[in-house]
Amino acid sequence: MCGICGFIDFKSNSDNDVLNKMVSALHHRGPDDRGSDIFSFDNALVGLGQTRLSILDLSPAGHQPMHYEQLSIVLNGEIYNFKDIKKELSELGHKFKSESDTEVVLHSFAEWGIDCVSKFIGMFAFAIFNKKTFEVSFIRDRAGVKPLYYYWEDGLFLYASELKAFHAHPRFKKKININAVHQYMDYGFIPSPYCIFENCKKLNPGHILRFSIEKKAFDISKYWDVNDSYRLPKSKVSYIDAKNEVEKLLQSAFEYRMVSDVPVGVFLSGGYDSTAVTALLQSNRTKKLKTFTIGFEEGNNEAPFAKEIAKHIGTDHTEYYCTTKEAQEIIPDLTYYYDEPFADSSAIPTILVSKLAKESVTVALSADAGDEIFAGYNYYEKLQNNLALIAKIPNLFRSPLGHLFHYASTFNTPFKLKNKLDVLSVVLKSDPTQYAQSFQHRFFTISEEIKNKLFKNLFQDSKTIFNNDYSAFEDNLSIALANDYSIYLQNDILTKVDRATMSVSLEGREPFLDHRIIEYVAQLPREYKFGTTPKRILKDIVHKYIPIQLMDRPKTGFTISVNAWLKNDLAYLLEEYLNPKKIDEVGLFQSKYVRKLLLDFYSGRLHDQSVIWKLLQFQMWYDKWMK
């Protein structure tokens, strides 16, 4: 696990000092080693930088940038099946100097070119410079576990694992992308490929960017897309056979994530996803797994359940009950580690459990993506119920009813009813193939009333992020799952976990995100996933290892009482960052309306309270990175 960064500079005024400052900005991602190289040509300088958290081959042989023949690489992530690929390459005559997966990627690229990525099982974002073809290739993993930003302006191309590395380059221009701010206020994150800054983007998951130094231009292509698996016909496999196959895939994926030359642990919440990871791994070994749980005296506290699960499985379990003060002390640091606006408050407990795990291990397995793969979120049931209701309405009356519901929602109706009317209005006025994504769009976004009054300028780009082609999908649940996998999971959950674990130099691994799992499960019939119960097939697998009595409880999230804090202990933050002077200094929001939102928030009249945390995190980000 590492941080990578660098540049392609056609004005050739970047230097080692600049590159080293960029690398230093990513020190927390890899404190064990660092390296940088600059290659000088007639028309450009190419810089490769890396900071290393040593996981595989702890010796100097794993140092980066790494070179082989005409190729040089910096890599962030892990290729879990590198030993299998290494064996194949050895049979083709390749010789290796290390036990590093990075060297295997280099030789794979030399042997198979860009197509080598199809062989990789892992999480990765890497840059390979081919000195013969004068091309730099940037490749990001299929699900988007590892981040990769890029910037292209005025003859300067920058790339990095985190935006903070760009700030170390004197020619990086910090101009806010207004459209990205609108998206952030809707979703609480800025969706890929967009970025908070102009001329800056994230490379989409499953994509390759090839930069031609000769042409001074780049092109982007896609090598993997989760939607392709959902477009395939549903499998005719029996439920029993499907369950057995899913269990084999899970076992294989989980074991791959245990490959390491340093200690490995597991985040255990006590829910089905983390329990599946822990139970399947512990069943195959006599040595006790190390598991970690953070508990809270307030909010949703799953620590007691996790403790019972750990006791039943027989892990070496560590739990820590965090005080409110400890959790609150994380907040000032959020905008440093999440260096573009990010409003998922569960980043706080995720950082805390990462700190706890780091005391004992260097790698921790997280159980994210179980909900997005196996249909675990509660709102999928709401989606199904709403679509069932709409199905009873004749096609002829749907659009007129949509307009009627919109009209009704403009009256002084209770918030919950107003919200339902608004959602149904949007969905009913949509094309039937867009019902699922229309529902999701309204589920995520803040109300149009708040947006129209909050921003000084109207939204310039009305395209929704839920705009894929779903014509070949067999059901609306598949559309919802594909959207959540490619949008919410990547931009929210994986961003949260990557920055949280990296903030303490801990490698976070995502065993459910082995692409073989989603490619198989996407083709299973809907009722295998969302059947008599959400996550039907995963739950039945877990019940082979854990009694149902230990697992049978309502689904909860990894949440804290941030709104209560903001009304009491942390009210000073709202007064400091959301006061009229600070709001007007940024120049994006109407300060009088922000004041009204605050007063409604304090009095309990503000129904969509998430807007306050979003505003606070944006203002704190601006204060940190724009001054």
Residues with active-site annotation? 2
SS3 state of residue 50:
strand
Residue (of 189, 193, 192, 178) closest to 454 by Cα position: 178
3-class SS letters over 272-302: HHHHHHHHHHHCCCCCCCEEEEEEECCCCCC
DSSP state of 468: -
Maximum CA extent, the chain: 75
CB atoms < 10 A from the CB of 303, how many?
Answer: 19
- In the numeric block, the tokens 């109407």 are attached to 590
**DSSP string of 564-591, one letter each residue:** HHHHTTTHHHHHHHSSHHHHHHH-SB-H
DSSP state of 485: I
d(CA 155, CA 135): 16
Residue (of 246, 268, 381) closest to 320 by Cα position: 268
> Which token pair is 559?
């949440």
b/e map of 353-374 (b: 16 or more CB within 10 Å)?
bbbbbbeebbbbbbbbbbbbbb
CA angle 413, 417, 418 (to 5 degrees): 60
CB atoms < 10 A from the CB of 397, how many?
Answer: 11
d(CA 82, CA 119): 9
Scanning 429-493, the segments in alpha helix (DSSP H) are: 435-444, 448-454, 476-483
Yes or no: say if 614 and 188 are a contact pair by the CB < 8 Å rule. yes
Residue (of 292, 342, 288) closest to 322 by Cα position: 292
d(CA 78, CA 445): 34
DSSP state of 147: -
> 158 forms bridges with which residues in the sheet?
7, 151
Yes or no: say if 276 and 370 are a contact pair by the CB < 8 Å rule. yes
b/e map of 119-134 (b: 16 or more CB within 10 Å)?
bbbbbbbbbbbbeeeb
SS3 state of residue 370:
helix
Alpha-carbon torsion (549, 553, 558, 564), positive or negative: negative
